[in-house]
Amino acid sequence: MYARRRRGYFWLMGGCVVLFVSAWAVVRLWSVPVAVGMCVVAMVIPPFAAMIANRRGPEDRWWDDPTGDKQSDDWWDELDGKNRRP
């Protein structure tokens, strides 16, 4: 689960770096507006990469899901102010 998200994050961020470096190392020699456009695209990629890296998959355990250990779950519920027992 983490490997898939990590792989997607690194692909997106790698593409971002490639766009930025190629824009100012190569493309600017022919067209500065295209290089600026490539940088704008590279600027938009990191927020999407962060969303992909931090999304929760269907098999991921969420922070407030019960663990199955009754004593631990009761202890956390008490700390959170939840009263599981009527």
Q: What is the pLDDT of residues 50-78, one digit of tens each?
A: 998 888 776 666 666 777 888 888 887 78
Decide if pLDDT at 28 tops 70. yes
CA atoms within 13 A on the CB side of 74: 5
Those residues with Cβ within 8 angstroms of residue 56's Cβ, 6 or more apart along the chain or in another chain: 62
Look at the chain and report how many structural domains it folds into. Answer: 1
Q: State the average pLDDT for the chain.
A: 85
pLDDT on residue 39: 95
pLDDT on residue 31: 94
pLDDT on residue 25: 95
Residue 67 lies in a domain: no
Residue 6 lies in a domain: yes
pLDDT on residue 69: 83
Where in the sequence is the domain holding 34, given as residue range(s)? 2-61
The closest of 41, 56, 53 to 7, measured between CA atoms, is 53
Residue 81 lies in a domain: no
- pLDDT average, residue stretch 5-12: 89
